[in-house]
Chains A and B, each alone.
Chain A
Amino acid sequence: MGEARFKPGDRVTVRKAYPLGHIRTPFYIRGHSGVIERLCGTFGNPEELAQQRSGEPKQPLYRVRFMQKDVWPDYRGDPGDALEVEIFQHWLE
């Protein structure tokens, strides 16, 4: 679970799931596809840490780059504008 499964340049899709609890994956980015920009490191799972549990095993955290025009249907900025979101591995596929 804690092994990094993605590398920079890989195309990934954020899981479209809406569980209760403390989730760090923003609602607006769920279901969207982007590209791994970098591996930020491995960190305790915030979904567990928020509930007074250990957060182990640690999870890889990635910075994922999305295109603004893909995320916002009415985006009027530069079509090259990107949005980077840090997302834990178990939210990516």
Chain B
Amino acid sequence: MGGLPAGRVEPVEHDYAEWERRVDALMVLLSGIRGGRKLMTVDELRKNIEALPPDAYDRMGYYERWVTSITQVMIQRGVITSDELGRKMAEIEKRG
């Protein structure tokens, strides 16, 4: 990948989980390509994926990288704050 040494690429078919479809839809909506307010670009998505530490990049799945990057962009652009995110995550965790 990216010209670095790596093993064979093993293509596998798989279905998408519901949360993965939602992350994809989120990106479509935030990109403004279906109308509505444009809140991020695909280039910001890529930039923040590239900024993941290598071990996190390797550990995460495709859409986990996406949702992490989308969240970073929303914080960078001031759509949400880290404080709001942290409190919401704690609230949801309490629901169990």
Partner of B41, one of A27, A28, A49: A49
Number of interface residues of A (CB under 8 A): 13
Given known A52-B76, A52-B77, contact A26–B44 (CB-CB < 8 A): no
- Residues of A26-46 whose CB lies within 8 A of B: 26-29, 46
State whether B3 touches A26 (Cβ < 8 A).
yes
State whether A49 touches B3 (Cβ < 8 A).
no
B88 on the A face (CB < 8 A) = no
Which residues does chain A contribute within 8 Å of B3, judged by CB atoms? 26-29
Q: Kindly provide the distance from the CB of B37 to the nearest chain A CB, expressed in whole angstroms.
A: 14
Partner of B44, one of A27, A29, A49: A49
Which residues does chain A contribute within 8 Å of B84, judged by CB atoms? none
Given known A49-B43, A50-B43, A52-B76, contact A22–B50 (CB-CB < 8 A): yes
B41 nearest in chain A by CB position: A49
State whether B46 touches A50 (Cβ < 8 A).
yes
B96 on the A face (CB < 8 A) = no
Which residues does chain A contribute within 8 Å of B22, judged by CB atoms? none
For the complex with contacts A26-B3, A28-B2, 12 further pairs of A-B residues with Cβ separation under 8 Å are: A22-B46, A24-B46, A27-B2, A28-B3, A47-B43, A49-B42, A50-B41, A50-B43, A52-B44, A52-B76, A52-B77, A55-B43
List residues of chain A with CB under 8 Å of any chain B CB.
22, 24, 26-29, 46-47, 49-52, 55
A-B contact pairs, 12 of them (CB 8 A): A22-B43, A26-B3, A27-B2, A29-B3, A46-B43, A46-B46, A49-B41, A49-B42, A49-B43, A50-B46, A52-B76, A55-B43
List residues of chain B with CB under 8 Å of any chain A CB.
2-3, 41-44, 46-47, 50, 76-77
